[in-house]
Structure 1
Amino acid sequence: MTAPPARVTRPALLAVAHGSRDPRHAAALHGLLAAVRRARPGLRAELGFLDLCGPDVPTALARLVAAAHEDIGRVVVLPLFLSHGYHVGHDIPAVTAQARRALRRPPALLVADPLGPDPLLDAAMRRRLREQDADCADPDLSVVVASATIAPTETANAIRALRSAGTSRVAVASYFLAPGLLYDRVRADALAARVAIAAPLTTPDGEPPAELVELVLERYAQAAGTRPAPSLPATAAVAVA
């Protein structure tokens, strides 16, 4: 009688993102996952999307399991989101549970916390700002944080308000995980106001910030039980100056 395959002790990683029709979005996030694999050789990792582009989550999970030479016992499901919300609390658990039920040998799923908020994201955004010669340590610099959770026009309004208050220098930090339509609108407003704007945290043609790669691995390790969760709550991102 053939013995069942041995189970892998280290969990695999299934990163789940929202998705976008903009091809730069998927390309940038695939680049992030590639950087994570380079930082953790041997880690089995796949990327799936909830909507608008592929692969979808069931396909990504099936690929992850099918690619293994041994039976995978556990999979860490990591939401590539910068905050908690409906997608993180409802959609991702629901779609991954459904995908798991369709597998012949379903692994246990360990759902990690989303990426944000976290001090490492603060550091990654500051790194992106420095790439635009905007240093948050500069006392004359005011920073507007632009994110997908606010209307794009609010960035232009914040820039005008800061200038009306006499601020000499303004820069825009991007609390966007990847490029897309909303980021493009914010960028257009910033450039029209002649204000430097940082790139999204990931881009299709460059390396992601080291802090972001570290954060992905932190969330993975916490969910896998190999590292304790922080004892203090994560801080918010850079505050609007």
Structure 2
Amino acid sequence: MHRIRYPSPPGHASGTAPAAPALVAVAHGSRDPRALHTVTELLARVRELRPGLDVRLGHIELNAPLLPETLHALGSGDAVLVPLLLGRGHHVKHDIPAAVAAAPAPRARTAGPLGPHPLLVEALHGRLTEAGWHPSDRGSRDSAVVLAAAGSRDPESAADTRRTARLLGERLGGVPVVPAYASAAAPTVRAAVRALAARGHRRIAIASYFTAPGRFASAAAAGAPWIAAAPLGAHPAVARLLLHRYDRARAGGAPEYETLMNTRFPAPA
């Protein structure tokens, strides 16, 4: 993994690196106890990849600690917030900035959401493989995938999901990948499955585009006519992506949405 080196601030003692900002992972929160367990496991992977980094968790709702509590506990320390969210929806654009604006002390930057990004596609492919997807399905006319996402009324969020579907389709060798949603947008997962079946696809898999288990992920999996992949969870590629988003935000970079428009995956050996 590429590591970014940062120059010492003026007047800093030579050879002594300044303390890195804390990484605050911002999860949505869920009533499903598996969600908190999964996020905790993911952050443990992040700590293994970056020993010594202060990694903390804050939730938008439903689970403790809530994000304002996490920011308050930082005191005067700097932080980079990394949303554990997969697109540019309401939480990324409004809820998280509002929490940062209301925080009393820490100086915080907010990274872009996790998606879209090729590392998420790597994780989606890995979860599909674990569920039973086989290399022989690559390019098969019988096979298709429904990319099941939470859904949002924000058109940019839907655009991000469509971009991920396109990238996953390329990763799978041209297999059709149709985005579908558990709420707030169309089509539903079951409607997408019916449409693909009407086009002659007999092996339709569900790729779970959720960061952790929960009500939406379970409902999407229940609509699978063939295999249903597990949520992204603590996949190693997701842990690497958290640190990538952290490093990029710390360096002052913007999310790579325009770069992703032209991303292509090479064919596996």
Tell me the TM-score range normalised by the shorter chain.
0.7 to 0.9
In the TM superposition, what is the alpha-carbon distance from 1:62 to its structure 2 partner?
A: 3.4
Which one of the candidate residues 211, 221, 227 is aligned to 2:237? 211
Aligned residue for 2:85?
81
Alpha-carbon contact 2:23-2:80 (below 8 Å) kept: yes
In the TM superposition, what is the alpha-carbon distance from 1:58 to its structure 2 partner?
A: 2.1
1:158 aligns with 2:192: yes
Say which SS state the counterpart of residue 196 (structure 1) adopts. coil
Higher relative contact order (CA 8 A, sep 6+): 1
Which aligned runs of 4 or more in structure 1 are off by greater than 6 angstroms?
A: none
CA RMSD of aligned residues (A): 2.6
Gaps of 5+ in 1: 1-5, 66-70, 203-207
In the TM superposition, what is the alpha-carbon distance from 1:236 to its structure 2 partner?
A: 10
Gaps of 5+ in 2: 1-15, 152-180, 264-269
1:51-80 per-position Cα deviation (integer Å, ceiling 9, x unaligned): 111111122223444xxxxx63x2101111
Matched residue type, 2:228: I
Aligned residue for 2:220?
186
Q: 1:163 to 1:114 in 2, by over 3 A?
A: same
1:200 aligns with 2:202: no
Aligned residue for 1:113?
112
Alpha-carbon contact 1:119-1:236 (below 8 Å) kept: no
In the TM superposition, what is the alpha-carbon distance from 1:123 to its structure 2 partner?
A: 1.1
Matched residue type, 2:93: G
Pairing 1:5-20 to 2, within 5 Å after superposition: 8-20=18-30
In the TM superposition, what is the alpha-carbon distance from 1:232 to its structure 2 partner?
A: 4.2
How many residues align? The count is 213
Q: TM-score, normalised by structure 1?
A: 0.80
Structure-1 separation of matches of 2:84 and 2:257: 22
Say which SS state the counterpart of residue 31 (structure 1) adopts. helix
Aligned residue for 1:37?
47
In the TM superposition, what is the alpha-carbon distance from 1:235 to its structure 2 partner?
A: 4.9
In the TM superposition, what is the alpha-carbon distance from 1:15 to its structure 2 partner?
A: 1.1
Fraction of identical pairs, as percent: 40
Alpha-carbon contact 1:171-1:197 (below 8 Å) kept: yes
1:128 aligns with 2:120: no
Which one of the candidate residues 113, 131, 147 is aligned to 1:145? 147
Matched residue type, 2:249: A
Alpha-carbon contact 2:71-2:106 (below 8 Å) kept: no
Q: 1:148 to 1:33 in 2, by over 3 A?
A: same
1:156-182 per-position Cα deviation (integer Å, ceiling 9, x unaligned): 222222222221321111111111111
Alpha-carbon contact 2:148-2:189 (below 8 Å) kept: yes
Q: TM-score, normalised by structure 2?
A: 0.72
Alpha-carbon contact 1:46-1:64 (below 8 Å) kept: no
Aligned residue for 1:3?
none
Q: 1:142 to 1:123 in 2, by over 3 A?
A: same
Matched residue type, 2:204: V
